[in-house]
Amino acid sequence: MPEESESKKLFDRLKEATANVTQMTREQVGALQAKKELWQAYADLGRKTAELAESGAVSHPELSPLVERVKELKAQLAAADEDEAPAPEADETPPESDEG
């Protein structure tokens, strides 16, 4: 019966290792979720700060270049959107003339 005892010990060690890995994974997932939420909060803060700075409700010398950069990027995106918009299709056949 020593085989059963060794098997049980091995099984118990595997169970413990699995539990440890599961716990570490949960902790890492929790940390990643917190980081994701922090980045989202920074993005929301930045967006709101840009809106307030553009409207004149907030001003600070350190914000000015950042707000200008946001404006430049928005203009670039707007120009790119205009370039990608389909051009109105021209009628290929000329209108019929009443002359003639």
pLDDT in tens, 73-90: 999 999 999 888 766 665
Judge whether 90 lies within some domain. Answer: no
Q: How many domains does the chain have?
A: 1
User: Using one digit for the tens of pLDDT, what is the confidence trace for 27-56?
Assistant: 999 999 999 999 999 999 999 999 999 999
CA 54 to CA 76: how far, in whole Å? 17
What residues have CB less than 8 Å from 95, skipping those under 6 apart? none
Determine, yes or no, domain membership for 77. yes
**What pLDDT is attached to residue 92?**
55
Tell me, yes or no, if the pTM score tops 0.75: no
Conformation bin of residue 56: beta by default, left when phi > 0, alpha when psi is -120 to 50: left
5-16 average pLDDT score = 91
In a domain, 15, yes or no: yes
Task: Tell me which residue range forms the domain holding 27.
Answer: 2-84
